[in-house]
Structure formats: C-alpha cells, structure tokens
A and B are shown apart, each in its own frame.
Chain A
Amino acid sequence: MKSRRFVLTFPPDATGEPITYNLIKKYDIMVNIVKADVSPGKIGHLVMEMTAPAKTLKEGMEYMQQQNVECVPIDRKITYREDLCIHCGACSAVCFAGALTMNHKTAELTFEPEKCVMCELCLTACPLKLFSIDLG
C-alpha cells in the first residue's frame, strides 16, 4: 500500500459531516493529518496523508466528491519552476520536512512533493521565487 499526500479543500458551507472520521471508519483509510486550517464559514484546507489499497482510496475520494470536498494530490498544488532553478540550495535550508534536499554529487536540488508538509517556508526562502502553492 502506498501512502500519498493530498490537499483537501472544504467549501465555506461544509455540512458538518465528519469527513475524516468517515474516511477512517467507513472506508478504512489510514489517515495522517499533516496540516489543518479549517474555520467555520471559510474555505478550509487539510493536508493529509492517506494509506489504503487503490480501490478503497478511490471510494473514499468519491465520497469526498459527493461532500463537495476537493481532494487533489499535493504535487498538483505546488508549482516549482525547475526550468528556471539555479540549484543554489536556499530553499533546502528551510525545508525541515526534507522534501527539498541538495544532492551533493550532482549539486542539484531534489524535490519530493510527497514529503511536503505545506509549511510554505520555501515560497519566501527561494531567492528566485520559483515556488508557488495554489490553494484556490
């Protein structure tokens, strides 16, 4: 079973349905909340790691869709302009999650979005401003 990270976006008029509870209880998806920013009356975001067999995961995603909760793999929410990157390493200084690391042999930056915790520190740490996060 593969663990994948997703960004869940809750509409401001979320029904109050216990989405995460249901994902665990009804769909048996292993859930690890990485970051949460949910307030009543506002668009909410949850960065979440989900571990489940592909079929179960698909059912869980369909359930979220029915509840009007957008669920997108994390790498589709983060844009990294690799074509413009100079591989200085400034972003790797702040990435305590280890998603951005320098490979000393090649002297190049490695970006593993699956490790990202959406702390957003790289957005400002990159001197060329090559990262952006689109939370809609």
Chain B
Amino acid sequence: MLKKRSIEEINEKIRKGKAVVLTAEQVAAMGRESSAAEVMDKVDVVTTGTFGPMCSSGVFINFGHTTPPMRMEKITLNNVPVFGGIAAVDAYIGATETALPHDQYGGAHVIEELISGKDVLLQATAKGTDCYPLTEVKSLINKDTVNEMIMFNPRNAYQNYNVAVNSTSRIKYTYMGTLLPGFGNATFSTSGELSPLLNDPDMRTIGIGTRIFFGGTTGYVAWHGTQFNTGKPANKHGVPVGNSATLALIGDAKKMSTRFIRAAYFEKYGVSMFVGVGIPIPILDEDMARRVMIRNSQIETNITDYGSPGHDTLGQTDYKTLFSGEITLNGKKIRTAPLSSVRTAREIAAILREEIAGGRFLLTAPVENFQKTAGLNSLEIRL
C-alpha cells in the first residue's frame, strides 16, 4: 500500500497521461465501498466545482490612453459607476454596483457583456491636469480594445454556508433568494460534496498560488478571502459547520466564458454574480483521501432565521437532507431549494478532470499555506 505521494509525482503522472482523476462526487460514491487506504492507493487527484452567486467579485480594467491623455476620475460603464480612484485609466468594476435608478442592471452585467465580447459605453470626466489635460471622454469599448481585464474577487468559494429561513409573517427578499413567510421555504447555497473547500477543510493543499479553474479559464488563489474564519467548530467528519473559510481569486477575465460567469439580480436585494470555480485536490496521503471521500450526509450546516435581526440559529441539517427537497425544523416540514447550480458545478468538476487527465493542467503546491484565525471582528460603533 502506498503511504504518501508528492505533488511532483502526481504531476509526472499527469504529464504522461497516467494520472487517475475523479470528481468529488465520484470519489464520494467510491468511498461507500472503499477504505481511505484504497482510495489513496487508486486515485491521484479529485476535482471539485461550485457555481453560486458571489457578490464579492469584480474586474480590474485598463482602458488604454486617449490622445491627449486623461486621468479618468468619475467613470461609468453602461451607466454603472466603476471605481476610478486608482491610476489614470485603471478602474475596478464591482459586481454589485448598480446603474441608478435602474438598479436591476449592475457591474456584474457589465462584466458579463464584456466577457461575451459586446461593446460597452464608457463615459468619464476629470478635472484636467498638466500631464492629463483631457476632461471628458465618451466612447465604446470591448474586451479587444482594452488592455487588461483582470478578475479579482476578494471573497469567493465560501467553505459551507448557512441555510436561510424566514420566521416572520412577511416575504423577505434576500441574497438567499425570496424567503416565504412562516417558514414557507428554506434556501441554501453550496454544492455540498462537490464544493472545493469542503473537500480539503483544513486547506492542506489549497493556499496562496494554487492553480484553479476560474470562470472558464485557468486562475489562481491570490490570498485567503475576506471574512476568512477558521474558528468555526468542525463536526465529527472534520467539516466546519456554517460559514467559515473563503478565498480571494484572480484570473484573466478576457479568457473567461459567460457559461461560468453570469450576472444575477436578486429581487429587492441587488445585483450579484454567479462565479464558476473548480479546485483540484491532490491525494497526498490517507488523510487527504478521507477528506475527499466526504458525502453530503456528512456535511452539516446551521439553519438561520433571516427574519431575525441577528440571523438567529434555529437548528442544524445536512446536505443530503437539503438536496432531498425537504428539511424538518421543530416538527415542521419545510421545502428546500438550492441557489447554487449543482449542474454547472458538476460540469466544472468534469472539465477540470478532463484537463488534468489529458495532461493540460498541472497541480501546484501552495506558495504559502493560510494562517489560522481566531474569529471575525464586528464593527463597533464608536464616536
């Protein structure tokens, strides 16, 4: 029995087209009949995937200089304000920024249109300086006319997430979808056993510099994500219960596809963006094998009340039950619905598997692993 394998050994097998690669769903199914030692023996890499709404996303863009040049200050793209408080013709398109008063169209829609190759209306003004005399510009841009489009998402790929219910007598419109009154439904948003950070909960193989599938192309883990929290208690299967770790991701938006980046509008909440992420997990030893074998029934999360100001925790459930279409809370049966597309998550894991098995995608060891955190700070109001 093989006890250990290194990323270099795995990459050597990938180069030769001999690596055994399974998706996280396939290895979860295999785990019903095989031990961790057997999975370790037979499988080199497991691929994961997720395609959920991730608000903390956006694109750095460089428009190129006009003649005479301009230091763009107030900038809009298709009437959506974008952040211009950086160098002359650099800007950041935040996914959730909206074009007032048309608040159903926002940064995510601009990003989707740019990725699809469409023209987008750029309007900018400036005070004018000796080095940047131009004070106004209006033009059409697209992904071929601009220099860079770098997607940088400060918080993606949440490791687990709460289930949302509504205890009040009124409909609640939330980023977790439309929550019907009186516990009329429950929504959840991870791809369960397919989810990247649930397959390596201690992030032994995922860290700074990890090469990933990102929006239809190759991207990288840039840093730990914002609101990164490893302080959440883990269940007996080693999976944190409720929202915990996150990733900051980076990649070339010019090479992305609208199949894996889609703009969304959540009623009376605002604009968000579905982001496709897939991370390969190398099976370095039996411990990693045990991790990737995790099944939906072993992944638990909190049921929280979006009708209460503090989002009170009312109970716990697991993803097998959530995917079955019904959970029971205090004796009451509640219909469940996902918000993250498992169909696309499966597609991502399958694409990544093909890429690795075909020798076109090599694995990386983290340049640096993430530091553990004790918890999150809240914003204290002090004046």
A residues bordering B, Cβ < 8 Å? 86-90, 92-94, 96, 101-102, 104, 106-108, 121, 124-125, 127-129
Contact = CB atoms under 8 A, between A and B. Distances in A.
A109 to B, nearest CB: 9
B280 interface: no
Contacts of B104: 129
B267 A88 contact: no
Contact of B341 (A93, A101, A107, A129): A107
8 residue pairs, one from A and one from B, having the closest CB atoms: A93-B337, A127-B264, A107-B342, A89-B338, A124-B267, A107-B343, A87-B343, A125-B178
A124 B345 CA distance: 24
Interface string B169-208: 0000100011110001101000000000000000000000
A31 B325 CA distance: 31
Contacts of A125: 177-178, 267
Contacts of A93: 177-180, 185, 187, 335, 337, 339
Interface residues of B, number: 34
Contact of B274 (A86, A89, A104): A86
A88 B175 CA distance: 13
B324 interface: yes
Nearest to B271: A127
B71 interface: no
A104 B324 contact: yes
Interface of B: 51-53, 104, 173, 177-180, 184-185, 187, 262-267, 272, 274, 323-325, 335, 337-346
A34 B208 CA distance: 56
Given A94-B180, A124-B178, A124-B267, A87 B325 contact: no
A89 B185 contact: no
A104 B51 CA distance: 16
Given A90-B187, A93-B185, A108 B264 contact: no
Contacts of B173: 124
A107 B346 CA distance: 9
A90 B324 contact: no
B348 to A, nearest CB: 12
Contacts of B343: 86-87, 106-108
B261 to A, nearest CB: 11
Given A89-B339, A102-B325, A121 B178 contact: yes
A92 to B, nearest CB: 5
Given A104-B323, A104-B324, A124-B267, A92 B344 contact: no
B96 to A, nearest CB: 13
Contacts of B184: 96
A124 to B, nearest CB: 4
Nearest to B260: A86
- A90, A94, A102 — most chain B CB neighbours (10 Å): A90
A125 B268 CA distance: 10
A81 B276 CA distance: 21
Nearest to B323: A104
B323 to A, nearest CB: 5
B151 to A, nearest CB: 18
Given A107-B341, A107-B343, 20 more contacts: A87-B341, A88-B51, A89-B338, A89-B339, A90-B178, A93-B178, A93-B187, A93-B339, A94-B178, A94-B180, A96-B184, A101-B325, A107-B345, A107-B346, A124-B178, A125-B178, A127-B265, A127-B274, A128-B264, A128-B265
